Amino acid sequence: MTVILTVAGSDSVGGAGVEADVRAIASMGGHAAVALTAVTAQNTARLRDVFPLPPEQVTAQITAVAEDARIAAVKTGMMFSARTVRAVAPLLMELKAPLVVDPVLFAGVGASLHREGLREAMVKDLFPLATVVTPNRSEAEAFSGMRIKGPGSLEDVGNRLLEMGPEAVLIKGGHLEGDLAVDSLFTAEGVLEVASPRLDRRVHGAGCTFSAFIATGLGIGMGLREAVREAKRRIYDSVAMSVPVGKGLLAIDPMATLHKEAMRAGVIEEVRKAVAVIEERLPPELVPEVGMNLAFALPYPQGYGEICGVEGRLVRVGDKVRRVGEVRFEGSRHMARVVMAASFVDPEVRCAMNIRFTEAVVDRLRATGAMVGTFDRGEEPAMVSSMEWGTAEAIRGCGHVPDVIYDRGGAGKEAMVRVLGRDPDDVLRKVSALMR
What pLDDT, in 10s, does the model give residues 32-55?
999 999 999 999 888 889 899 999
Instruction: Please check whether residues 239 and 285 belong to one and the same domain.
Output: no
Output phi, psi for 417, to 5 deg: -120, 135
Query: Does 304 lie in the same domain as 217?
Result: no
Residues 248, 271, single domain; the answer is no
- Last residue of some domain: 201, 234, 261? 261
107, 207: one domain: yes
Apex 343 CA angle, 337 and 349, nearest 5: 110
Query: Does residue 79 surpass a pLDDT of 90?
Result: yes
pLDDT at site 112: 57
What pTM, to 2 d.p., does this model score?
0.92
Say whether both 232 and 221 belong to one domain: yes
Looking at residue 19, its pLDDT comes to 96
Is pLDDT above 60 for 356? yes
Taking residues 121-136, what's their average pLDDT?
96
Q: What is the mean pLDDT of residues 314-335?
A: 94
Number of domains in the chain: 2
93-103 pLDDT per residue, tens: 999 999 999 99
**Domain end residue (candidates: 261, 292, 314):** 261
- In which band, very low, low, confident or very high, does the pLDDT at 151 lie, cut at 50, 70 and 90? confident
Mean pLDDT score of the chain: 93
Q: Give the span between the Cα atoms of 224 and 190, in whole angstroms.
A: 13
Banded model confidence at residue 263, pLDDT cuts 50, 70, 90: very high
| Mean pLDDT, residues 279-291 taken together | 96
Q: For residue 356, report the phi and psi dihedrals to the nearest 5 degrees.
A: -65, 140
The confidence band for 176, taking pLDDT boundaries of 50, 70 and 90, is confident
426, 323: one domain: yes
Last residue of a domain, one of 215, 244, 261: 261
Task: Give the model's pLDDT for residue 111.
Answer: 53
Domain harbouring 97, CATH code: 3.40.1190.20
SS (H, E, C) the chain: CCEEEEEEEEECCCCCHHHHHHHHHHHCCCEEEEEEEEEEEECCCCEEEEEECCHHHHHHHHHHHHCCCCEEEEEECCCCCHHHHHHHHHHHHHHCCCEEECCCCECCCCCECCCCCHHHHHHHHHHHHCCEECCCHHHHHHHHCCCCCCHHHHHHHHHHHHCCCCCCEEECCCCCCCCEEEEEEEECCEEEEEEEECCCCCEECHHHHHHHHHHHHHHCCCCHHHHHHHHHHHHHHHHHCCECCCCCCEECCCCHHHHHHHCHHHHHHHHHHHHHHHHHHCCHHHCCCCCECEEEECCCCCCHHHEEEECCCEEEECCEEEECCCEEECCCCHHHHHHHHHHHHCCCCCEEEEEECCHHHHHHHHHCCCCEEECCHHHCCCCCCHHHHHHHHHHHHHCCCCCEEEECCECCECCEEEEEECCHHHHHHHCHHHCC
How high is the pLDDT of residue 105? 82
User: CATH code at 325?
Assistant: 3.40.225.10
Pick from 401, 427, 196: nearest CA to 296: 427
What is the mean pLDDT of the segment spanning 261-287? Answer: 97
Residue 56: the pLDDT is: 97
pLDDT of 149: 83
CB 184 within 8 A of CB 171: yes
Q: What is the mean pLDDT of residues 190-211?
A: 91
Reported as a single tens digit per residue, the pLDDT across 101-120 is 999 887 554 555 666 788 99
Examine the domain organization and report whether 233 and 269 are in the same domain: no
Say whether both 112 and 187 belong to one domain.
yes
362 and 238 fall within a common domain = no
Statement: residue 335 has pLDDT above 70: yes
First CA to last CA across the chain, in angstroms? 56
Q: Quick one: 311 and 253 in the same domain?
A: no
Torsion of CA 31, 37, 43, 48, to 10 degrees: 170
User: Residue 64 is part of which domain span?
Assistant: 3-261
Tell me, yes or no, whether 42 and 191 share the same domain. Answer: yes
Q: How many Cβ atoms from other residues are within 10 Å of residue 83's Cβ?
A: 18
Cα angle, residue 200 at apex, residues 198 and 202 outer, rounded to 5° = 110
Is it the case that residue 174 has pLDDT exceeding 80? no
Nearest CA among 123, 62, 117 for reference residue 95: 62
Separation between Cα atoms, residue 330 and residue 333, nearest integer Å: 7
**Rounded Cα gap, residues 205 and 373, in angstroms:** 39
pLDDT for the residue numbered 71: 98
pLDDT band at 1 (very low <50, low <70, confident <90, very high): confident
Q: In the prediction, which pLDDT does 107 show?
A: 57
Of 277, 317, 318, 316, nearest in space to 294 by CA: 277
- pLDDT over 90, % of the chain: 82
The reply to whether 345 and 288 lie within a common domain is yes
Task: Determine the Cα–Cα distance for residues 74 and 34; give it in Å rounded to an integer.
Answer: 10
pLDDT of residue 386: 81
Residue 113 confidence (pLDDT): 60
Q: Residue 416: CB partners within 8 Å, gap ≥ 6?
A: 288, 354, 355, 356, 357, 406, 407, 409
Contact in structure between 79 and 85 (CB atoms under 8 Å):
yes
Residue 175: band (very low, low, confident or very high) from pLDDT cuts 50, 70, 90: low
* Main-chain phi, psi angles of 204, to 5 degrees: -120, 125
177 vs 54, which has greater pLDDT?
A: 54
Q: C-alpha angle 369/371/377, rounded to 5°?
A: 140
